[in-house]
């Protein structure tokens, strides 16, 4: 039975991951980690998360105490917290699944460095369908990308902290790589003013509204036709389920940097 530690039990992803872990037969929740001083420290994680279930796993505010007995850490929190989680996972030699987005390039290098000593699975998106979409984008870009105007439209809830989303940036990187272009040189975030659309540009448009779970559309616009590849998530459960699949995959892996593609054999 795989023992899971979940970071941020009251986060939109943390609480769902706790529920999925509780429902699975091949893993058990050994605890959750919350910031110091919260009034629910010491409570059962399922109750603290508002799920109305008893998991038998307490909420900790001491990461060293929380991490000692787990097999894998799952972290969907914020960048500042995740950086500390990474350091502690490395210190305690624990595999880490991280789905937090919004890191700088320098911060991402820390994950790569840590992966030389522990298994690290970083995933901007843990949905198997989104990763299938990424494969389709790779195929479409190779076939029609050079003759297309490529635009990415992504939608999320009003509380999402980073824009563009990590998922849409990953899509942009896939497209740029298959066009033999540098993402940083061709990505255009938003558009205003006058002038013809430049060639070799990947346009980004971000929507933050209400409780939209996740929506990504990539448009390949050509003369007289267009191809759209879209993924809609109706809620966040698919990402929580995918995160648990990632944790199960990671336990028996050697140190290295992994992604959801490794989990679903893409």
Active site residues: 156, 160
Pairing of strands 214-222, 225-233: antiparallel
Q: Residue 214 in 3-state DSSP? A: strand
Q: Residue 53 in 3-state DSSP? A: coil
Backbone angles phi, psi at 156, to 5 degrees: -145, 175
Strand order across the 202-208 sheet: 187-189, 202-208, 149-156, 214-222, 225-233
**Any residues with CB less than 8 A from the CB of 171 and at least 6 apart, and which?**
133, 134, 137, 152, 216, 218
Ordered alpha helix ranges (H), the chain: 12-23, 45-48, 63-67, 79-92, 105-114, 128-144, 166-178, 183-186, 237-250, 260-263
Backbone angles phi, psi at 96, to 5 degrees: -130, 130
Candidates 258, 265, 264, 261; CA nearest to 121 is 258
Candidates 162, 164, 165, 170; CA nearest to 137 is 170
Per DSSP, 196 falls in state P
């Amino acid at each position: 039975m795989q023992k899971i530690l979940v970071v941020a039990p009251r986060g939109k992803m943390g609480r769902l991951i706790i529920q999925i872990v509780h429902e699975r037969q091949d893993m058990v929740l050994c605890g959750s980690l919350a910031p110091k001083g919260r009034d629910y420290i010491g409570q059962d994680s399922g109750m603290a998360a508002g799920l109305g279930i008893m998991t038998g796993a307490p909420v900790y505010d001491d990461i060293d105490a929380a991490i000692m007995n787990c097999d894998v850490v799952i972290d969907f929190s914020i960048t500042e917290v995740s950086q500390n989680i990474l350091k502690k996972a490395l210190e305690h030699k624990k595999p880490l699944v991280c789905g937090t987005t919004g890191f700088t390039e320098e911060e991402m290098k820390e994950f790569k460095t840590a992966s030389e000593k522990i298994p690290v699975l970083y995933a901007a998106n843990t949905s198997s369908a989104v990763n299938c979409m990424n494969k389709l984008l790779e195929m479409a870009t190779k076939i029609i990308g050079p003759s297309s105007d490529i635009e990415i439209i992504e939608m999320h809830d009003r509380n999402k902290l980073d824009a563009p989303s990590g998922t849409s940036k990953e899509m942009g990187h896939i497209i740029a790589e298959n066009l033999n272009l540098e993402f940083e040189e061709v990505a255009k975030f938003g558009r205003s003013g006058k002038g013809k659309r430049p060639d070799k540009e990947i346009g980004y448009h971000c929507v933050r509204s209400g409780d939209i779970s996740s929506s990504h559309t990539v448009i390949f616009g050509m003369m007289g036709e267009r191809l759209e590849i879209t993924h809609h998530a109706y809620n966040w459960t698919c990402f929580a389920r995918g995160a648990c699949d990632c944790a199960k995959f990671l336990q028996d892996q050697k140190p290295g940097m992994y992604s959801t593609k490794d989990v679903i054999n893409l």
